[in-house]
Amino acid sequence: MSAWLWIIATLLAVAALGWVFRAGGRWVTGNAPRFRDMSYGEAFGFALAAAALAGGTWLYLQPGAVFFRWAVQGFVIFAVAAYLFRELGRLIGTEGTRKLFRQMPLTAAFGILVILVYSFVAIFAGQISLRTVIIVAVVGMILTEIVRRNTGDAAATGFGGLVFAVNLVFVVMYLVGPIAPHGQEQVFELANVVAGGDPALGGNPDFPLGTDQIGRDILSRLIFGAQNTVGIAFVTTLLAFFLGGTLGLLAATLGGWLDQLLSRGVDVLMAIPSLIFALLLMTIAAVWAPQTGIPLTYFMIVIIAVIDSTRVFRLARAVGINIVVMDYIEAAKLRGEGLGYLVFREILPNATAPLLAEFGLRFCFVFLTIAALSFLGVGIQPPLADWGTMVRDLAAFINYAQFAPMAAVTPLLAAGAIALLTVGVNFVVDWMLQKSSGLKE
Amino acid sequence: MRIILQRLGLGLITLLVVSIVIFVAVNMLPGDFAQVILGQGATEEASAAIRESLELDKSLTARYFSWLGKLLTLDLGTSFAQLNFASNMGGAGTVTVAEQIAPRLGNTLFLAGVTAAIAVPVSVMLGVLAALYRNTPFDRAVNIFSLTSISSPEFFLAYVLILLLAVLNPILQPLSNINSDMSFGEKLEKTLLPALTLTLVVMAHMMRMTRAAIINLLASPYIEMARLKGMSPMRVIVRHALPNALAPIINVIALNLAYLITGVVVVEVVFVYPGIGQLFVDSVKIRDIPVVQACCLIFAAAYILLNLTADILSILSNPRLRHPK
């Protein structure tokens, strides 16, 4: 009860402060327009911000507020990193990308930075083979050649530079070795090592975040989680897009009974909440999987891809129907072009922008669904390291927050890793949508 | 009136088709239910008895209609775990699925009710404030905060709240092990943390929609008129913009309550809340088909019902849709 009293008292104090601030401002500046026209709400906002800032500073200096300090430090580090990344983007690159970075809000820069860092960690979590390096180099060369033939020299130079940079990163990482200090399935004899690396508290400097209940290094599993969780979510989204996009554009182009059939089928599938439906199908797959010998994770990929492809289908069909009535489609039909040409060369290029934004959002949903399923224990199966499962396994550590903050933060790190990526992707998509719709208000 | 009846009929048909989908999906299961229930070491008599009680000897359509008929009388069958227990113990003391679900459904509705009671007023208020102070630092902060909480997984928010409000500052209970003997106040206290988590999940979306719906109207001539009369910005929004923005807001509230249904599963597991979501996940893990089927149907029905409500409310609140030409 006293907590409520404190909150009410603080609010009243802030309200009084806001009034005093406005009245004082009027008095000191001799009724300047800035203060004369200020609404009370605005004054209250200023007072609230000042109170929050003061309270935050006070809390930051308290010796016990470890988590608050970490949160503030993390926030500042992320903000500074995003700012530096944006400044870097403004200096390096072709004229087009530099312009893009100049208009970019800080949140979007943060999102792009997060996506880049996650891809980097996911690709180089384990030791990459020499073959991968060579394949990347060859594919890069072929792509550059294609770009050079299809577009001007300026674009090819920019693209070539990008390919060169990527190749350089691959070669360097091949020589440097894996990011993760240990393997994801490697079991050590030391189980339940406390995080923090301090031997006096039961830690071990070899395992900065400790080991789990059967002695696997948590830091390594966190890093490999990027590869597994993000990789699987990415593959699932690609599959959902391939399925939903193709069928949606086909339904839009052909119309008629195929359109009706697919649309009604999608309506029915969408009437069941997706997580519930996924759980039902996973139950059935769990019976199927041992009989067929296919790992449950593959079933999960297909199930979630099919469920999410219904949403993609809706969008692709809606976008496609608006394009199909255009004159250039009519012209292509009169030229006698085939269905494949119509869908992939005429409709798809004109539907790229909305589909790309949808890809980002869809990836977030798929990623969250997979994380939720794994958290509930029916998603990605062990021994693959995965963030959702890690959160569930380590959750009990939260209760030790007052004695061992480092140990308590490990489940939050895994959950936060999921949150960070979805937040980043959402920031980028938000910016893309705002840019393409031209909305300023 | 006709359009509303049409929607109702459409909802009923959807529900029927969904029940077919769920039934067929479950009956695609390979192998023998009797073996799933009793395990590998089942005796022939016990298997035969279970096959008969599940009517596995009949055709698929016959079984569907008999299942549907039982559903209408709220007879959801007996869970496999209970059947197994009964066949080992000699038949006595089984609990039907309906009896298992009923108290948990009540608990889940309580949680959803508490969440809605917190989330709806707060999010509408914040949405109005964000529209009033649009493009100020306040609006940006609210925008970033809401985007962050929409895109975080439910269990992340849940554990952060546990860390802050239960472990570091023991204000609320981290476990929501409520039961029917508790008083209302006690129940409410234990439900508060999961309800707050769900509030964070659904609030962001409602708030953003409220803000967008109000800002959409601000360019209208009658808002201009109200401004020119010298009304205060707050009064313009609350008296003139909000009533006209009510239709999309009600719609998004209903849709978010529907979203609560999915969110409730994960949150109930985190807080060990004895609701229907937890029962569902537990049954999924032990492959208890009758319970999974029943829970799935209840979730789907609630989802369809809320979507239907959203549809009907948006028709009712819009005179142009209420009296179609």
Neighbours of A386 (CB within 10 A): 27
> Is the N-terminal amide bond of B319 cis, ω within 30° of 0?
no
Pair A99, A207 in one domain? no
**Nearest Cβ partner of B163 from A67, A364, A441?**
A67
Assigned domain for A310 exists: yes
Asked whether residue A242 falls in the same domain as residue A267, the answer is yes
Residues A92 and A233 in one domain: no
First vs last C-alpha separation in chain B: 13
Residue of A nearest to B306 (CA): A271
Which of B159, B211, B276 has the most A C-beta neighbours within 10 Å, making it the best mutation to test the interface with A?
B159
Cross-chain CB nearest to B30 (options A287, A401, A411): A287
Domain that holds residue A76: 63-104
For residue B136, is pLDDT > 90? no
Nearest-neighbour CA in chain A from B95: distance (Å): 22
The mean pLDDT of A200-227, rounded to a whole number, is: 76
**pLDDT at B222 exceeding the cut of 80:** yes
| Residue A101: partners with Cβ closer than 8 Å, 6 or more residues away | A86, A89, A90, A93, A109
B130 assigned to some structural domain: yes
Tell whether A323 is covered by a domain.
yes
Quick check: A147 and A156 in contact, CB under 8 A?
yes
B287 lies in which domain range?
Answer: 103-322
What per-residue string of b and e applies to B159-181 under the rule 16 or more CB within 10 Å gives b?
bbbbbebbbbeeebbbebebeee
Query: How many C-alpha atoms does A213 have within 13 Å on its Cβ side?
Result: 7
In a domain, A130, yes or no: no
Q: CB neighbours of A5 closer than 8 A, spacing ≥ 6?
A: none
The predicted pLDDT at position A302 comes to: 92
| Cα B202 to Cα B121: distance, rounded to the nearest angstrom | 12
Q: Which residues does chain A have within 8 Å of residue B215's beta carbon, measured at their own beta carbons?
A: 441
Same domain, A18 and A79: no
* A68 shares its domain with A56: no
By C-alpha distance, which of A318, A316, A298, A434 is closest to A379?
A: A298
In chain B, what percentage of residues exceed pLDDT 70?
A: 82
Mean pLDDT of chain B: 80
- When scoring A59, A280, A370 by the number of chain B Cβ atoms within 10 A, the one with the most, hence best to mutate, is A280
Closest residue, chain A, to B297 (C-alpha): A272
Where among A73, A104, A135 does a domain terminate?
A104
CA atoms of B102 and B70, how far apart (whole Å)? 16
Which residues pair with residue A211 across a beta bridge?
Answer: A217
SS3 B78: strand
User: Residues near B177 by Cβ (< 8 Å), separated by ≥ 6?
Assistant: B190, B272, B273, B274
Residues A192, A209: Cα–Cα separation, whole Å: 10
What per-residue confidence (pLDDT) applies to A222?
A: 85
The reply to whether A245 falls in a domain is yes
A35 in the same domain as A8: yes
Q: If pLDDT is split at 50, 70 and 90, which confidence band does A441 have? A: very low
Question: What would the mean pLDDT of B222-243 be, rounded to a whole number?
Answer: 86
Q: What is the rounded average pLDDT of the residues A189-212?
A: 69
CA–centroid distance for A39 within its chain: 39
Of the residues A284, A409, A432, the best mutation for testing chain B's interface (the one with the most B CB atoms within 10 Å of its CB) is A284
Q: Cβ of B140: how many Cβ atoms within 10 Å?
A: 15
With respect to residue A132, please indicate whether it lies within any of the assigned structural domains: no
A25 near A51, Cβ under 8 Å?
A: no
In a domain, B188, yes or no: yes
**Residue B192, CA atoms < 13 Å, CB-side half-sphere:** 12
**Closest Cα of chain A to B302: distance in Å?**
10
| Contact call for residues A357 and A433 (beta carbons, < 8 A) | yes
A116 within a domain of the structure (yes/no): no
**Does residue B289 fall inside a structural domain?**
yes
- Pick the closest to residue B242 from B210, B269, B204 (CA basis): B210
How many angstroms away from the CA of B266 is the closest CA of chain A?
7
CB A425 within 8 A of CB A363: yes
Q: Which residue of B has its CA nearest to A397?
A: B163
Establish how many alpha carbons lie within 13 A of residue A136's alpha carbon, considering only the half-sphere containing its beta carbon.
19
Read off the pLDDT of each residue in A105-129 and give the average, rounded to a whole number. 86
Numbers of helices and strands, H then E, in chain B: 15, 0
Q: Do A13 and A74 have their domain in common?
A: no
Does A120 fall in a domain?
no
Number of domains in chain A: 3
Q: What is the ipTM of this complex?
A: 0.83
pLDDT value of position A409: 82
Q: Do B155 and A391 touch (CB under 8 A)?
A: yes
Ranked by mean pLDDT, the top range of A193-197, A203-207, B72-76, B148-152 is: B148-152
Mutate one of B156, B160, B270, B299 to test the A interface: name it (highest A CB count within 10 A).
B156
pLDDT at A305: 93
Q: What is the pLDDT of residue A304?
A: 92
- Radius of gyration for chain A, computed over Cα atoms and rounded to the nearest angstrom: 27
**Position A368 pLDDT exceeds 60:** yes
Within 8 A of B281 by CB-CB distance, chain A residues are: 279, 376-378
Please state the rounded mean pLDDT for residues B285-305: 83
Rounded mean pLDDT, B139-151? 83
**Among all residues of chain B, which has the CA nearest to that of A2?**
B171
Q: What pLDDT score was predicted for residue A192?
A: 67
Cβ-contact A195, A157 below 8 angstroms? no
Residue B265 resides in a domain:
yes
pLDDT in tens, B66-76: 777 777 777 76
Lowest average pLDDT, out of A330-334, B80-84, B188-192, B204-208, goes to B80-84
Q: Tokens 């789990």 correspond to what residue?
A: A212
Residue A130 CB burial class (10 angstroms; 0-12, 13-18, ≥19) = exposed
DSSP B41: T
Count structural domains, chain B. Answer: 1
- Same domain? A297 vs A427: yes
* pLDDT given at position A196: 67
In CATH, what number is assigned to the domain containing residue A244?
A: 1.10.3720.10
Residues 6+ apart with CB under 8 A from B210: B123, B124, B126, B127, B128, B130, B131, B245, B249, B252
Nearest to A418 among B21, B156, B289 (CB): B156
> Which of A53, A77, A104 is a domain's end point?
A104
Q: Are residues A222 and A76 in the same domain?
A: no
Hey, are the CB atoms on A267 and B258 less than 8 Å from each other?
no
| Angle, CA of B270, B272 and B277, to the nearest 5° | 80
Nearest CA in chain B to A427: B147
CA distance B30 to A63: 60
pLDDT at A437: 66
Whether A134 is covered by a domain: the verdict is: no
Whether pLDDT at B264 is above 80: yes
Are residues A265 and A257 in contact, defined by beta-carbon separation less than 8 angstroms? Answer: no
Instruction: Quick: pLDDT tens for A55-92.
Output: 888 888 887 778 888 888 988 999 999 999 888 888 88
Q: Taking 70 as the threshold, does the pLDDT of residue A197 lie above it?
A: no
Same domain, A52 and A68: no
Distance from CA of B324 to the nearest CA of A (A): 25
Q: How far apart are the first and last CA of chain A?
A: 43
Across the interface, of B151, B299, B300, the residue whose CB is closest to A364 is: B151
| Position A425, amino acid | V
* Full-model pTM: 0.85
* Residue in the block written with tokens 């409310």: B313
Same domain, A399 and A252: yes
Same domain assignment for residues A78 and A99: yes
Q: Given an 8 Å threshold on Cβ–Cβ distance, is B167 in contact with A49?
A: no
A-chain CB neighbours of B39 within 8 Å are none
DSSP helix/strand/coil, B96: strand
- What Å distances lie between residue A331 and A254, A350, A352, CA to CA? 16, 15, 21
* B17 occurs within a structural domain: no
Angle at A142 between CA A139 and CA A144, to 5 degrees: 110
Residues A288, B30 contacting (CB under 8 angstroms): yes
Least confident among A159-163, A178-182, B51-55: B51-55
**Residue A438: is its pLDDT beyond 70?**
no
Q: B304: distance to nearest CA of chain A, Å?
A: 6
Calpha distance B118→B253 (Å, rounded): 12
Q: Do B262 and A276 touch (CB under 8 A)?
A: yes
Least confident range of A126-140, A394-408, B24-38: B24-38
Residue B197 sits in a domain of what CATH number?
Answer: 1.10.3720.10
- B268 CA: distance to closest CA in chain A (Å): 11
Q: For the ranges B22-36, B99-113, B147-161, which has the lowest average pLDDT?
A: B22-36
Tell me, yes or no, whether B109 lies in a domain.
yes
Question: How far A408 CA lies from chain B's nearest CA (Å)?
Answer: 9
| pLDDT value, residue A440 | 44
**Segment A263-294, tens digit of pLDDT:** 888 888 888 888 888 888 888 888 777 777 78
